[in-house]
């Protein structure tokens, strides 16, 4: 049977009006149509539309922002006559992100990242997601005055981003590309210099896996307002022509998949 397959949301502003652009894909053959409703935090209907590519406009929109999160509820239904074939609900935050020179702007206001490269690792549980430890971590972030964190060096559980959406913490979302600097590693641990980019080290197969990872990361996390920047790697070799040849196509992939967020790496 036909069902809702994917939902991509881009939420930004046109002056004081919030604009939520939704692209819905449907799997399977069907004559059913797509119906969308956007409700505010009190459950009141503020906008509705029909069609797989729809635009919902919200006058005097409440913006999602650091420390001041506001989430709308986007309800998507696949409707065949009077029958609802499938439905999906998604929290939506309306906000803008852009870089202006050396300033990082959220909702056109300068944002200064105060936070951590965190790890999804705990003394008792070890490596992995634990809801109670997550709540404790977020409480510690608030306690020390942090407003952001980076998912070093891998994507975290989706529940972490859901919690960041609800609490208004800003996230740099990073892939598991760490240690792509064999020259440093070789000098420290292997008794001499090594070449990072070669057929025997970081090569075409690495780039293909890296690309798939980026595609999967963006497909999963694209609708989280807390995610403001994609990090393609942690501390890679970045000063050589070979590193530019390796990373430039990956940056292009990210910008093509999501032109709404900046992309970078951590160094």
Residue numbers annotated as active site: 235
CB 151, CB 173: distance < 8 Å: yes
CB 141, CB 149: distance < 8 Å: yes
List the beta bridge partners of residue 78.
34, 86
The long-range contacts involving 217-220, CB below 8 angstroms and separated by at least 24 positions, are 217/155, 217/173, 217/175, 218/254, 218/257, 218/258, 219/6, 219/257, 220/155, 220/158
Q: Which two tokens stand for residue 67?
A: 């420390």
Q: Which two tokens stand for residue 182?
A: 């064999």
Q: Which two tokens stand for residue 235?
A: 């501390």
């Amino acid at each position: 049977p036909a069902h809702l397959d994917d939902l991509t949301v881009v939420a930004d502003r046109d002056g004081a009006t919030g604009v939520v652009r939704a692209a819905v894909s449907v799997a399977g053959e069907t004559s059913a149509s797509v119906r969308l409703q956007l409700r505010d935090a009190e459950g009141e209907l503020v906008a509705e539309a029909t069609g797989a590519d729809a635009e919902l406009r919200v006058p005097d929109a409440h913006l999602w922002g650091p420390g001041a999160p506001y989430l709308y509820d986007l309800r998507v239904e696949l409707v065949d006559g009077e029958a609802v074939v499938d439905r999906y609900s998604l929290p939506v935050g309306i906000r803008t992100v852009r870089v202006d020179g050396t300033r990082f702007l959220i909702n056109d206001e300068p944002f200064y990242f105060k936070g951590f490269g965190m790890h999804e690792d705990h003394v008792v549980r070890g490596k992995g997601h634990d809801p109670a430890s997550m709540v404790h971590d977020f409480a510690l972030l608030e306690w020390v005055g942090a407003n952001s964190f980076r998912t070093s060096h891998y994507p975290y559980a989706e529940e972490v981003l859901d919690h960041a959406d609800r609490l208004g913490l800003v996230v740099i979302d990073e892939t598991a590309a760490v240690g792509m600097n064999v020259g440093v590693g070789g000098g420290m641990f292997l008794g001499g210099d090594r070449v990072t980019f070669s057929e025997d080290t970081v090569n075409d197969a690495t780039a293909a896996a890296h690309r798939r990872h980026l595609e999967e990361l963006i497909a999963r996390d694209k609708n989280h307002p807390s995610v403001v920047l994609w990090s393609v790697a942690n501390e890679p070799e970045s000063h050589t022509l070979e590193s530019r040849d390796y990373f430039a196509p990956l940056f292009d992939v990210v910008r093509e998949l999501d032109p709404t967020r900046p992309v970078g790496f951590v160094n």
